[in-house]
Structure formats: C-alpha cells, structure tokens
Amino acid sequence: MPRERNGKMTDLSNPWQRPPELGTNAFASPGTPVLPVQPEERPRVFQYQPGVNLVSMPRAGFGLANFASLRALAAASKEIRLNIELIKREIRALEWTITDDGGDVINEAVGFFETPDGQHDFDGWLNMLLEEMLVTDAVTIFPDGTLDGTTEAIELVDGTTIRPLLDTRGRIPRPPVPAFLQVLHGRPTGYWDAERLLYKPFNASVASPYGVSPVEFVLMTVNLALRRDVYHIGAFTEGNVPEALVGAPASWGQEQVNAWQEYWDAMVAGNISAQRKMHFVPIEGGKTLPVYEFRKDDINQTAQDEWLMKVACWAFGNSPAEFGLVSGAGLGGAGYAKGQENIQYRSMLRPITQYLARLFNTLLSKYLRYSGAEFKWIGLDPQEDRLKQAQVDQIYIQAGVYTPQYVREREGITGEDDDAAPEVGVEKFFRENDRIWYG
C-alpha cells in the first residue's frame, strides 16, 4: 500500500521503493518486517481481547480482581478499613467554597452543593464518593436533569454495575455512540454515552478502562492479614492445643485423672478458655511430675501486625504515624512527627483533594453551567507552607506588589479595606481556627 514519505508516495510492497532503513540487501540486515495488508491510520491504545464488548460482567476480560472481592476485602480487613476511614474523615473535615473569576462566592452554586443529589447533604455525599474511589476506583456520576438541559441533581451510581465499552482503538467511545453499559443481576439494563454518564477512576490505566484501587495494590498482604485474624479467633474459640500438660502418677487410671482435673479446675478456673489451663494425663514409670509447656511466644506477634498495617498505609498514602506506629518522642521525635504530617499532605490529602476539585469543577462548568466557577478547599495547606506564604506576603506588601486587602480576600478574611502597607512582621501573624490573621 502506498505511503507518503517526505512528500512522496512510497509503495512498501515494492522493494525498489522501500526506504533504505528497511532494506534487506545489506549484509546482516534486520530483515523485512511483516507489514499489515490493511494498516491502521492511528495506533490502538492497548491490546484488548477480541469481542471484549460482548462480555457483560464489569471487569471481566481484563485480568483484574472482581468488584465483589474488593468490597469484601475492604469490609473484612481492619488494616484496609482503618485507612479508608482515616482518609474519609480528614477530607470531610475540610471546609470548602465555590468562587467565580473575581474571587466572589457563588452562593447559588454553594447552595446546590449543600445537597448535590437532592437527598444527601454534601458531607454524606462526599463520604459515599470517597468510599467508591478508595475501594473500587469506579466513581460514576449521573447528572440528572430536565428536558431543557437544567441539571437538578448530581447522583452517585454504583460503579460496580457499570461496564465501559471500547471502540476499535481501545478508547471509550465519544458521543453519541454508547459508552457505558449498566449490568444488573447479570443482565444489561441500560446504556449511556460519555456525556450523559461520568466515569472517573482515580488511578487510570492505559491498558484498561477501569481504575485500580489501593486495595488491589496489597491483595496478598490483605489476604495474609485476614488469615492472621482468623488464626487469632481460632486460638480462643476452636484451638485444641492446651497451655501445658502435667504428668500424673502412672498408677492413676483415667477416672482418677478426671477427678483430679475437675478438682484443679474448680480451684483455678475463671472465664478463660481451656487453652489457658494445665491438663493432667497419666504417664508411665515416673516418680516425678514433669510439666510439658506448649506455648512460650505471644500469639499476637504485634511486630508482624504492625508491618501489615504499614503496608496498608503505604498503599493508601497514609503515614503510619497517624496510627501511632512511629514514636513521636525521643531524639528528633517532634521534628520527625511534623515531617510525617507534611508527608500525609503530599502523598494523600493533596492528590485526592485535587482529583475531587477537578471533578467538581467539571460538574460546575459543564453540567451546572457556572462559567468560570471554581471549587476550592479552605485551610488545606500544611502549617509549614502557610508560614512560608505569610513571609512571602510580608515581602510583597512592603514592596508594594499587592495590598493587605488582596491577602484578606485570598484567605477569606473579612475586614476593612486598607490599601496601605502596614509595617508588620511575620511574628505578628498568629493562627486562629487554622487561619492566618493579622495581629
């Protein structure tokens, strides 16, 4: 098939017109490649299985863990659940606002986001969104509107029921071609294009339309943690290894041993299971009464439990110090703990809040029709960064680059307009309710 090269049409099937880099007449040449009979103009995004759109079940055909397993692991594993709840509580604790291009608050947009879906308040709605993002990474939003195009509700849809479709290149099809299929009870029940339904994974992959949640990062570790929990439960419920065996005189029969066991239990027994008792058994030829102890170690093995929790923390971007696994005392402890707070911000808070802000800005501009509107988190920066910003503000105010009023508006501080540059130092800044105020 002729191809354009340097402004000229070249027929690659004709050896006399092949580019010299594909030549085969040279000594020890790389050989002539097997060229397609009908070459595609644009490359495919990835190699998908032929007929993959015929498979209805979400995630099937991509070599990924199924959604049901991810939800079950997130519910059963304490390491996973504690990390998820920590992230949700830290982000839900943040204040937020919506402003226009001039920095003024758009009260109408803020009012809409107070109850985004018309049923749950923003705090509950955000909690559900974060749960979907952290467990399945299949955040799906349906902007429900009227016939005139007005969006009345931003509804969250269970992303585990959504099957993204692919076009020939391996991309999610563009409107008006159907892009998403909902599967309920194993049967397709509806389809929508990419404008009608938003599917926004946090950890996107080029080789799959699905996201990859932190739970999948540590599947083997979570499996180990669950087995350890089952082992711990069995040690107190179904275990048959006693604490120790104490030898009884060889002349005793089973009835005498049982009688002595009952007498001993009556003296020392409490609410502890039989594993924590000594048991008497008859042994041959012994004048002494040997004691055979079976367990000397701690069945909890807290060092291994701490390691499992740290692995889960690394997967979710949390600092182990948030769970008290790193001491904040001792030489350099305070500085280390403060450093961990900044790590928590950079590895978890900032990436997730940026993802959420971009998602909300898309909803504001594209579906709620607030041109230039911006969703902002308040008080998100770490204290160390805010101190540096205060130092920069002082320099710029004294140099006349901008005024104190500009800083007040940026920080959301109400006060009288004053364009004069006061002679203030950074030491006169003090923090109140996580905000920087002028003293």
pLDDT reported for residue 227: 80
384-394 pLDDT, tens digit each: 566 777 888 88
352-373 pLDDT, tens digit each: 999 999 999 999 999 999 988 9
274 alpha carbon, distance to own chain's centre: 43
Of residues 143 and 250, more confidence is placed in 143
Residue 427 has pLDDT above 50, yes or no: no
Q: Region 258-263: what's the mean pLDDT?
A: 84
Residue 336 has pLDDT above 70, yes or no: no
Of 332, 433, 333, 313, residue with least CA distance to 383: 433
Of 359, 356, 338, 358, residue with least CA distance to 348: 356
Q: Region 48-52: what's the mean pLDDT?
A: 93
Residue type, 232: H
Please give the biggest Cα pair distance in the chain.
108
pLDDT reported for residue 87: 94
Run of H or E including 307? helix 302-316
Q: How far is CA 53 from CA 56, 141, 161, 188, in A?
A: 7, 22, 15, 12
> Using the 8-state DSSP alphabet, how is residue 199 labeled?
E
- Average pLDDT along the chain: 79
CB distance 202 to 136 below 8 Å:
no
User: pTM here?
Assistant: 0.71
The highest-confidence range among 45-59, 144-158, 238-252, by mean pLDDT, is 45-59
Share of the chain above pLDDT 90, in %: 40
Of residues 355 and 237, more confidence is placed in 355
pLDDT reported for residue 283: 59
Q: Region 374-393: what's the mean pLDDT?
A: 77
Residues 6+ apart with CB under 8 A from 426: 387, 390, 391, 394
Residue 341 has pLDDT above 60, yes or no: yes
Q: How far apart are CA 289 and CA 299, in angstroms?
A: 27
Question: Which of 155-185 are b and which e, b meaning 16 or more Cβ less than 10 Å from the residue's Cβ?
Answer: bbbebbbbbbbbeeebbbbeeeebbbbbbee
Q: Tell me the DSSP string of 108-136.
A: HHHHHHHSTTSSS-HHHHHHHHHHHHHHT
Of residues 322 and 163, more confidence is placed in 163
Q: Is 281 helix (H, G, I), strand (E, B) or coil?
A: strand
Of residues 427 and 415, more confidence is placed in 415
Residue 4 has pLDDT above 60, yes or no: no
Residue 134 has pLDDT above 50, yes or no: yes
The highest-confidence range among 133-142, 230-239, 371-380, by mean pLDDT, is 133-142
Q: How far apart are CA 161 and CA 100, in angstroms?
A: 36
Instruction: Scan for tokens 């998602």, then name that residue.
Output: 359
Q: Region 272-298: what's the mean pLDDT?
A: 56
Share of the chain above pLDDT 70, in %: 71
* Region label for 103, one of left (φ > 0), alpha (ψ between -120 and 50) or beta (otherwise): left
* Annotated domain spans of the chain: 1-39, 242-293, 381-439
Of 379, 437, 378, residue with least CA distance to 407: 437
pLDDT band (50, 70, 90) for residue 251: confident
pLDDT reported for residue 338: 55
CB distance 427 to 390 below 8 Å:
no
170-206 pLDDT, tens digit each: 999 999 999 999 999 999 999 999 999 999 999 999 9
pLDDT reported for residue 433: 41
